[in-house]
Amino acid sequence: MTASPSLHPGQAPQTVQGAGHSPAPVPRRRSLLRRQVIPGFTLSMGITLGWLSLIVLIPLAGLVIRASGLPLDRWITVLTDTRLLAALRLSFGGALIAALINGVLGLIVAWVLVRYPFPGRKLIDSMIDLPFALPTAVAGIALSALYAPNGWLGSLLAPLGIKVAFTPLGAVVAMVFIGLPFVVRTVQPVLEDIDVELEEAAACLGASRRQTFWMVQLPTIAPALATGISLAFARAVGEYGSVIFIAGNLPRVSEIAPLLIVTRLEQYDYVGATAIATIMLAASFILLLIVNVLQKWNRDRQGGLR
């Protein structure tokens, strides 16, 4: 037997390297900069800010600067125009009604596509994205032909005294058509991620289906649902192509604000068109700010409950 080397007091043990023993690897210093596929932060941020400025910030800033040069009497004339007030009422009011309708129907459609397997589900799921790909003019012509008094649905609604085409109701129908995919595609992934065990636990505790929906499922999908409704609302406010074909475009009756802007431009009234566009821009920012505040409050409330 080989005697092991003795250690004197205060002497540190030495590592004996023998056969079959490799020296311990020396850790290498990690580099502060990692290799990435995309460029570095400085170049990426510069491209991002430059592109956003070119596409969004500069046009909006030009609109605001041009509108700020209008005299006060011109603003008063524009704001008190009954034709403009009627157009804004239809654009924002119709968009709000359409967004709320899409909130209810979009939730039902997303629920059916996620929870119930049935023949043709993939076909219906792909048809949800049709308003995204379909040109707005084609959608407007199709809706006008469908809801006209001699159309397939219009002929059925006419005996009931319901007229859709060439009325403000037709504008709301077109806004519902183009806003539905926003709600469905926003809520659908959240429904797929809901843990079924939570629903089973609620059922074991004696909760009914209605109580399970209101207390377990709806709080989970509420932020996504609010986001989809806000996106559908913002899309409907600026909709032009599909609405003008079915609304009728009667001044003070079924005329929307984007059409009024085009009308002012065709009349070479650039000042009036700029003022109307600025009003719509300010109203859109205010409404989207309110929606974002409500969404943040909802997320904070749900986080406090957890």
pLDDT confidence of residue 223: 83
Q: Which residues neighbour 247 within 8 Å (Cβ) at sequence distance 6 or greater?
A: 166, 167, 168, 170, 171, 174, 254, 255, 256
**Any idea which residue has 């609302």 for tokens?**
233
CA distance 187 to 267: 43
4-13, 191-200, 256-265 — which one is most confidently predicted on average?
Answer: 256-265
Q: Residues for the chain: how many in total? A: 306
Handedness of CA 145, 151, 156, 158 (dihedral sign): positive
Model confidence at 96, in pLDDT bands (50, 70, 90)? Answer: very high
pLDDT confidence of residue 291: 72
> Among candidates 238, 233, 226, which has minimal Cα distance to 292?
226
pLDDT confidence of residue 196: 75
Question: Is the pLDDT confidence value at 1 over 50?
Answer: no
Model confidence at 303, in pLDDT bands (50, 70, 90)? Answer: low
List pLDDT tens digits, range 122-169. 999 999 999 988 888 899 999 999 999 898 999 999 899 899 999 999
- Could you tell me the fold of the domain covering 55-305? MetI-like fold (1.10.3720)
CA distance 188 to 236: 21
pLDDT confidence of residue 34: 55
Tokens of 176: 């519902």
pLDDT confidence of residue 86: 93
pTM of the prediction? 0.78
List pLDDT tens digits, range 164-215. 999 999 999 999 999 999 999 999 988 888 877 777 788 788 877 888 888 8
> Among candidates 139, 148, 208, 202, which has minimal Cα distance to 174?
139
Question: Is the pLDDT confidence value at 38 over 80?
Answer: no
Where are the chain's structural domains?
55-305
pLDDT confidence of residue 142: 92
When the pLDDT of each residue in the chain is averaged and rounded to a whole number, the result is 82
More confident residue, 117 or 290: 117
Of all residues in the chain, what percent carry a pLDDT higher than 70?
Answer: 84
Tokens of 136: 């707005």
List pLDDT tens digits, range 51-86. 988 988 888 888 888 888 888 888 888 888 899 999
- Across the range 263-269, mean pLDDT stands at 89
SS3 39: coil
pLDDT confidence of residue 306: 56
Does an H or E element contain 60, and which?
Answer: helix 58-68
Question: Is the pLDDT confidence value at 16 over 50?
Answer: no
